[in-house]
Structure 1
Amino acid sequence: MSLLQAFEISMLLTSVCAVLLAGWLLWQGKQQPAMPALAGFAAMMALWCAGHIAIMQHWPKVGMALVLANPLMPMFFLHFALQFVADGQRTDRLQRYWQRWKLPLYAVTVLLIASSWYWRGGGVASTAGFNAFFVFSGIGWLNLAYTVLLGVAAHLVLYLGWLQHTGNKRRSIVAMFLAGGWGLLLATSFVFPSLGLNWYPYPMLLLPSYLLLLVYGVVRYQLLAINAFANKALLWLGMLLLVLALMALVSALLGQFGMQALSVVPASQLWLYSVLLLLLSALCYRPLASLAQKLIYPGVQLNESLLALWREQLLLCDSWPQLAQQASALLSAQVRQKVQVLLPDANMTPDSGASLYLLCQRDDTGWHYQLQGWQDVTPGYRLQGEVFAALLQSQCRIFEQSLKLAEAERKRLDQQHLVELGALSAAMAHELRNPLNIIAMAATAIDASSRAHIQQQLKRADRLIADLLNYAGKLQLHCAEVPLKALVQTVMQQQDWQGVHCQLDISAEQTVYADSYRLQQVLINLLDNALAFCRQQSDAQICLSTLQQGDQTRLYVHNNGPAITAAQQASLFQPFVSKRAGGSGLGLAIVRRIMQAHGGTVRHRTDMGWPVSFELSFSAQINTAKEPQHG
């Protein structure tokens, strides 16, 4: 291949790439307002390259006219730069100036180009490797100077944008500067003949790379679609290089296989035919693929817009039943048959009116789908069902994660609310004791009967406040080995038994690792409840016993009072659900909280031979019990 052919192919490739990019950028202008101006830059680059080809093909007037239209390239790029860096304080003034002077500046540019055409701002000369090449003359030098000035202005605007922007936009500006430096290096050789230098413009052979690098650097951080386009472009470029190498090998071997006619074909023509064949294949690939799909899967209408619609509709669902119903409606409308989608958490039963089913199930490995009853469905509808099922499977995974996050957030807010409520309750309980003390002091001046009644109610109020503080306040444990029998006997001495018989079946050596003060609170609350319910019976009995199982100690508190109903058992340890007259409703809730702080448990038993039994379980030693617990 001669240098002349190499130059012509380079200009042709640059022109074709520029036209394709201009069309694509105009299409993307709906999403990015600055892209149409960049499309204008690409279009002018295509015309500029076409001008060089026209000169080489002996169309000098057309070629010189296209080359002298060069100032429109930086003009469009300046327009693009001002739109690209918009929305910043430093460029607000520039934007105002641009809106005022945009049309006059375009008019000056067009006027200069027309003047260059009229007064012949260029000519054609013979130089190294070329019989005809463009050279500037007369007003053409003003044309060139104006072009350079516009390019400098555009890059100054980008510099101001680089100062004010961050993130992807700043990265795009850096990429533009790097591409601009590369383009300046390549374009320098364009003026060699005009300066009287008889040098071949080798850098211009790489001109196709400048436009690609510039546009890709601009939009790769702004439009994700260009990255997919670049991925395909690299694939096709690799295939092109492979075809060129293959053609070179075939050309060398054709003579060995007796194909003399083909062996004398110039390698450049074989390469050109191969490139054209590859480009034709690229252009025909999508239509042929679409046609093949329609032939193999008739009736299928799968495209990006349909998938986006499905995804959007499924994302609107906020419950499993709604997701199942929406999925059923979408798929039924698509395959024109009634389809029922069954999800594990939607609580739906198979509909006898549906002939097709889509099951989405979850196991230890994740979500899976299964199509049932689709054996007689046409391949096109079967494909649609498979695609929809894969999309629904992904949506189920996303929806499950979102529900878990929402539940975790709800629990966090509930916990925070309980903490705040506990702090408020503790503060209010402390404040209530001040007016109660004043009432107690004021009651000393009244008659004995009224004073006794008031003091009785004050004691009750003080007990309610103490229970509220125990439940809602900070709970800090100081644990040690506690002799269980001695502790129980101490608590028993504080109770008013009133004829209730108490049996103690605890070994003197039995110990538990606990906070003795908090354990006394547990026993006092359990014994108070037991006495309140069985004191009115003639044969009232209470029994405390222990059982050692491995490293666990179990303490039982039995009584023969009225059995607790099944309805009451469901909320037995919840606060403020007491059925005992005069109770605060916090006794058993305090018991559970103290036992949980010890790392133990409390539960109600009905299988111990007593109407009412409570079981307290202690581990041998709970180190975490030494840490403070907050309500």
Structure 2
Amino acid sequence: MALDIAFELMMILTSACALIVSAWLFWRARGQRSMKALAGFGIMMALWCAGHVAVFHGLEALGAALILTNPLMPTFFLDFAIGFVNQGPGSRPWLNWLARRRSLFYSTSLLVILLSLLLTGGKVIEFGHFRHYFVFQGAGWFNIAYTVVIGILAHAILLWGFGIHRGNRRRSIAAMFAAGAWGLWLATSFIFPSMGLYWYPYPMLLLPSYIVLLVYGVVRYQMLEVNAWANRALLWTLMTLLVLGLIALLSSLAGQFGMQALANVPKWQLWLYSMLMLTLAVALYQPVGKLVERLIYPGIHLNEQLLDMWLARLRQANSWTELVTIAETLISRQMGQPVSVHLYQQGEALTHRTGINPAPRLICHHQPQGWRSQLAGWDDVTPGLRLAAEVFASLLATRCGVLERSLQLAEAERKRLAEQHLVELGGLSAAMAHEMRNPLNIISMASAGLDPDRKAMIQNQLKRADRLISDMLSYSGRIQIQRQPVRLKDLIDSLSHQFDWQQARLECALPAELVINADPYRLQQVFTNLIDNALAFVRNQDGGIIRIEAGERAGSIRVHNNGPALAPEMRHSLFRPFVSKRSGGSGLGLAIVRRIMDAHGGRIRYRNDLGWNVSFELLFPEGDHT
């Protein structure tokens, strides 16, 4: 191939690459001025290369005009450099000042181009392998000098940005400098004939690589699909070189193995045929791969959009119940049949009952190393649907771990706010108790001279007010636990004499040897509040009974009464403060019990499934009883 034709082909290829890359950049810019400026740089390079092609074909005036637009290339690059560096930590007032004067740089470049054209900044000569080659002269050297100055300014801004930025932006700037050094070496050979050095510009044959490397250096750290494209391009290039080498080796050895017909085929024909087959294989790889996937995994249509939709829906769950509901809806819709989802948190046993539930099940359970998923009852499901279920199960297990951490953080924050609220409430309650008890004492002393009925009525109300104040102090104060062994039956027996039982009776069915490791004073408050609360409803009832017994679980104590059953709307707010249906109650008794049980590391719960109208179950830690 003649060297002049090779040069022309490289100019055409560079122009085509620059236009394609610029169109793609402009499409992906999405309002980013810097990327649009880089696309403008590529367009100007395409026009500059087209100018050389026009000169080769005798269109000297058009070609010279396109080549002399040279200053617009670094001007667009300067615009890009200002916008690329002037972001985040690199933003500076002087960069903003330059950004506001972009139009001045463009106007100056257009003026330089116009002067170069009017003053004949170049001519077409013949040398070596070229019958038509453009060289600069006169005002053309001013054109070159201005181009170099603007290019130096743009790279100086990038160099400053390299010292300011970190991460991907810093890496992009480093890649741009590497591409710029490559481009400078390539372009230098183009100037030699203008300086009287009539050397063939061999480096210009590699010019198509400059625009590709420059743009790739800019966006490779910003756009994932660029790296995917580069991966495919590099793979195709390596495969091409490998095929060329194998064909050359096969052609040279064919004659020695008796394949003379193959040895006589020109190598360029073998290479061309191999390139066509390789290109066809690359083009058919993806559709054939999809066909094979459908044959191996029929009925499956997993794609990025489906996975994103699954993740988005699973993220909407803020509780375990919501997560199970959403997961069952998604996987059942994908499978086309009902699928049940089971979540097992740490401490709960995971059991499998084969044959009990034939429907497919998706199970996630917590293990020391994290959440794990498994499928059960999927033996009759096609491989494609099973693969989709495995992918979904993996996403669900990941979401379980995220939700668990989220709920733990929310619970920790709730406890912190509750503690802070109680500290504030404790200070307020102490101040109120002090201020309220003073006038109550005065009222008590003033009632001493009244008749017995009035005095008894006032004293009863004063006791009620004092009990309310004591409950407020108990609920809002800091509860400190001093554990020691307590015989629970003896404690209950000592409390039974403090109450006015009237027609009700107390049944204590606790074993005499039952010992709870707890704070005796706080434990006394718990049973006093529970018995007092129950007496308010069974005291004037025929056959009223309060029964205290040990539960089935170790550390479980149950307090029953046969008073009226609780309304369903009351059950969810039983242990909240100031919630009471009891006449004369403060609404703090059960709330205090819950706080004391929390301080012991236990809990209290209401139950109506034990054969009694009302039952409260105290659950102490298993190690706190004997």
TM-score (norm 2): 0.69
SS of 1:512 mapped into structure 2: strand
Q: By how many angstroms is 1:441 displaced?
A: 3.2
Q: By how many angstroms is 1:5 displaced?
A: 7.8
Indicate the residue corresponding to 2:367 in structure 1: none
Q: 1:93 and 2:97 equivalent?
A: yes
Deviation by residue 1:87-138 (Cα, 9 ceiling, x = unmatched): 6433221122223x2452242242144247x353563433xx8888665444
Q: Give the counterpart letter for 2:79 in structure 1.
A: H
Contact 1:81 1:158 (C-alpha < 8 Å) held by counterparts = yes
Indicate the residue corresponding to 1:586 in structure 2: 588
Contact 2:362 2:393 (C-alpha < 8 Å) held by counterparts = no
Deviation by residue 1:274-298 (Cα, 9 ceiling, x = unmatched): 668867987x769999xx99xx9xx
Indicate the residue corresponding to 1:527 in structure 2: 531
Contact 1:530 1:542 (C-alpha < 8 Å) held by counterparts = yes
Distance 1:362 1:57 in 2: 71
Distance 1:410 1:555 in 2: 30
Deviation by residue 1:337-391 (Cα, 9 ceiling, x = unmatched): xx9997869xxxxxxxxxxxxx9974447699x9xxxx9xxxxxxx9x9999999
Distance 1:47 1:405 in 2: 58
Given candidates 482, 485, 489, the residue that maps to 2:486 is 482
Q: Give the counterpart letter for 1:437 in structure 2.
A: R
Indicate the residue corresponding to 2:114 in structure 1: 111
Indicate the residue corresponding to 1:470 in structure 2: 474
Q: Give the counterpart letter for 1:79 in structure 2.
A: D
| Shift in CA distance, 124/272, structure 1 to aligned 2, threshold 3 Å | farther
| Shift in CA distance, 538/255, structure 1 to aligned 2, threshold 3 Å | closer
Q: How many residue pairs were aligned?
A: 574
Q: 1:459 and 2:460 equivalent?
A: no
| Shift in CA distance, 478/246, structure 1 to aligned 2, threshold 3 Å | same
Distance 2:173 2:194 in 1: 32
Question: What pairs with 1:112-131 in structure 2 (closer than 5 Å)?
Answer: 112-115=115-118, 118=120, 120-121=122-123, 123-126=125-128
Deviation by residue 1:242-298 (Cα, 9 ceiling, x = unmatched): 3433443355356663338954x464x76577668867987x769999xx99xx9xx
Q: Give the counterpart letter for 2:236 in structure 1.
A: W
Question: What pairs with 1:60-79 in structure 2 (closer than 5 Å)?
Answer: 67-79=67-79
SS of 1:123 mapped into structure 2: strand
| Shift in CA distance, 34/477, structure 1 to aligned 2, threshold 3 Å | same
Contact 2:605 2:617 (C-alpha < 8 Å) held by counterparts = yes
Distance 1:156 1:309 in 2: 43
What is the CA RMSD across the aligned residues, in angstroms? 5.7
Q: By how many angstroms is 1:478 displaced?
A: 1.1
Contact 1:10 1:207 (C-alpha < 8 Å) held by counterparts = yes
SS of 1:581 mapped into structure 2: coil
Q: Give the counterpart letter for 1:105 in structure 2.
A: T
| Shift in CA distance, 245/40, structure 1 to aligned 2, threshold 3 Å | farther
Distance 2:80 2:603 in 1: 72
SS of 1:245 mapped into structure 2: helix
TM-score (norm 1): 0.69
Q: Give the counterpart letter for 2:596 in structure 1.
A: I
Question: What pairs with 1:516-555 in structure 2 (closer than 5 Å)?
Answer: 516-536=520-540, 552=554
Q: By how many angstroms is 1:190 displaced?
A: 3.4
Distance 2:175 2:86 in 1: 18
Q: By how many angstroms is 1:180 displaced?
A: 1.4
Q: By how many angstroms is 1:21 displaced?
A: 1.5
Indicate the residue corresponding to 1:349 in structure 2: none
Indicate the residue corresponding to 2:351 in structure 1: none
Q: By how many angstroms is 1:86 displaced?
A: 5.2
Contact 2:172 2:221 (C-alpha < 8 Å) held by counterparts = yes
Structure 1, unaligned stretches of length 5 or more? 297-301, 332-338, 346-358, 376-382, 624-631
Q: Give the counterpart letter for 1:76 in structure 2.
A: F
Indicate the residue corresponding to 1:448 in structure 2: 450
Indicate the residue corresponding to 1:237 in structure 2: 237
Distance 2:428 2:127 in 1: 100
Indicate the residue corresponding to 1:436 in structure 2: 436
SS of 1:34 mapped into structure 2: helix
Distance 1:467 1:399 in 2: 43
Contact 1:440 1:455 (C-alpha < 8 Å) held by counterparts = no
Indicate the residue corresponding to 1:627 in structure 2: none
Structure 2, unaligned stretches of length 5 or more? 296-300, 342-358, 365-371
Q: Give the counterpart letter for 2:110 in structure 1.
A: A
Larger deviation, residues 406-415 vs 490-499: 406-415
Q: 1:597 and 2:615 equivalent?
A: no
| Shift in CA distance, 158/434, structure 1 to aligned 2, threshold 3 Å | same
Question: What pairs with 1:242-257 in structure 2 (closer than 5 Å)?
Answer: 242-253=242-253, 257=259
Question: What pairs with 1:237-386 in structure 2 (closer than 5 Å)?
Answer: 237-253=237-253, 257-259=259-261, 263=265, 265=266, 267=268, 362-364=362-364
Q: By how many angstroms is 1:525 displaced?
A: 1.9
% identity of equivalent residues:
42
Indicate the residue corresponding to 1:351 in structure 2: none
Q: By how many angstroms is 1:80 displaced?
A: 3.0
Q: By how many angstroms is 1:514 displaced?
A: 0.9
| Shift in CA distance, 236/557, structure 1 to aligned 2, threshold 3 Å | closer
SS of 2:70 mapped into structure 1: coil
Indicate the residue corresponding to 1:151 in structure 2: 151
| Shift in CA distance, 245/108, structure 1 to aligned 2, threshold 3 Å | farther
Contact 1:604 1:615 (C-alpha < 8 Å) held by counterparts = yes
SS of 2:207 mapped into structure 1: helix
Indicate the residue corresponding to 1:514 in structure 2: 518
| Shift in CA distance, 192/238, structure 1 to aligned 2, threshold 3 Å | same
Q: Give the counterpart letter for 1:181 in structure 2.
A: A
Distance 1:174 1:201 in 2: 27
Deviation by residue 1:202-244 (Cα, 9 ceiling, x = unmatched): 5445433322221111222344443333233223323332343
Larger deviation, residues 533-542 vs 456-465: 533-542
Distance 1:360 1:201 in 2: 71
Contact 1:483 1:508 (C-alpha < 8 Å) held by counterparts = yes
Distance 1:55 1:465 in 2: 102
Q: 1:42 and 2:34 equivalent?
A: no
Distance 2:557 2:225 in 1: 70
